[in-house]
Amino acid sequence: MAAPKLNIVPFVSVDSMMKLVLAVGIERFLTELAGYVEEDFRRWEAFDKTPRVASHSHDGVIELMPTSDGTLYGFKYVNGHPKNMRQGLQTVTAFGMLADVGSGYPMLLTEMTILTALRTAATSVVAAKYLAPRGARTMALIGNGAQSEFQATAFKALLGIERIRLYDIDRSASEKVVRNLAGLGLETTICASAEQAVEGAEIITTVTADKQYATILTDNMVGAGVHINAVGGDCPGKTELHRDILLRSDIFVEYPPQTRIEGEIQQLAPDHPVTELWQVMTGKAEGRRGPKQITLFDSVGFATEDFSALRYVRDKLASTGLYEELDLLADPDEPRDLFGMLLRAAKS
């Protein structure tokens, strides 16, 4: 058998990613991806970790998110520009790469705009498995943009959520969610306010986009026993919850050095107690202790989640063939003859 050509890198385009997700099935994709995310949280100590490298500008942020487990190296490029949506552009776009630590050669280049929405939803639901009240069936979903249906679908597939109560400042966004989720087995209700949306909800997901301190939830809206999945506050100066909610909640985070800069907890003292999610998953710390406790997953999105998603996609390539071959790496027959290869190209 011919040795695989290491200079040819599998590339998953947006088109291939959509085909891949649909071939696997959206719910099964989310379920399997959640398995990879959890597996990597469980081996947290194996990873190189650093807060993501963020370049802030007036309208948004561009971030690089690298990590490695010593065998594989992955990174994601991602932006966050809340104003984009009003100009017909995505708020969040992304692409990423997985590489072999041994040779340093890239092994996969992929779109990650769709993959980020999937991995964010998968991570939310992995956290909720440990933190949400038992038997939760109703979720409020505040902010009904690009990420929102992925959240709803993941909570249905993995946690058994049956009802979604929607609120967005732009009603047409909620109407889009109702249309997209029709026939997928979820009961959806559009609400007139965030306050109305949280009525009867055991889980509250906030996934709005605004590049400023916003107050999507105030303290009076959050009753005992609720789990809050706060996804939208993920940058310095960009939060969604009133500080008083944080003071009543037990707060769970991905990687504290990053969340202290970017998460809801940027509103609190730098030593305010938080629990790391990986410790809950490995039994080193408690998750939900009882029915009255308010739990808050202060999600900002961490590099290992993208690493898990990259691993998952790579594992799907051989069986689906849903990728193109990208001529990404120069590969002279004699490794030191890079210049000669260039000259020979002029003759061919």
Ligand X SMILES: NC(=O)c1ccc[n+]([C@@H]2O[C@H](COP(=O)([O-])OP(=O)(O)OC[C@H]3O[C@@H](n4cnc5c(N)ncnc54)[C@H](O)[C@@H]3O)[C@@H](O)[C@H]2O)c1
Looking at the annotation, which residues are catalytic?
234
Nearest residue (CB) to ligand X, 202 versus 240: 240
List the one residue from 301, 309, 310, 316 that touches ligand X (CB under 6 A).
Answer: 301
| C-alpha to C-alpha distance for 37 and 19, rounded to whole angstroms | 22
Instruction: Say which residues have a Cβ less than 8 Å from residue 310's Cβ, sequence separation at least 6.
Output: 72, 74, 96, 97, 98, 108, 110
Rounded-to-integer distance, Cα 114 and Cα 149, Å:
12
- The site map against ligand X for 236-275 (x = CB under 6 A) is ----------------------------------------
Return the residue of 21, 92, 122, 191 that touches ligand X, per CB under 6 A. Answer: 92
Give the separation between CA 49 and CA 33, rounded to whole angstroms.
21
Angle at the Cα of 57 from the Cα atoms of 51 and 63, rounded to 5 degrees: 30
Residue 281's φ and ψ, nearest 5 degrees, are -65, -30
Comparing CB distances to ligand X, the nearer of 27 and 210 is: 210
By the rule CB under 6 A, 277 interacts with ligand X: no
> Does residue 221 belong to the site contacting ligand X (CB under 6 A)?
no
Residue 147 binding ligand X, by CB under 6 A: yes
Binds ligand X by CB under 6 A, chosen from 10, 51, 74, 80 = 80
Residue 67 makes contact with ligand X by CB under 6 A: no
- Kindly indicate which of the ranges 24-32, 141-149, 195-203, 266-274 contains the residues binding ligand X, using the contact rule CB under 6 A: 141-149
Residue 195 engages ligand X in binding (rule: CB under 6 A): no
CA dihedral over 131, 137, 138, 141, signed as positive or negative: positive
Q: Among the candidate windows 62-70, 207-215, 309-317, 320-328, which touches ligand X by CB under 6 A?
A: 207-215
Q: Is 279 helix (H, G, I), strand (E, B) or coil?
A: helix
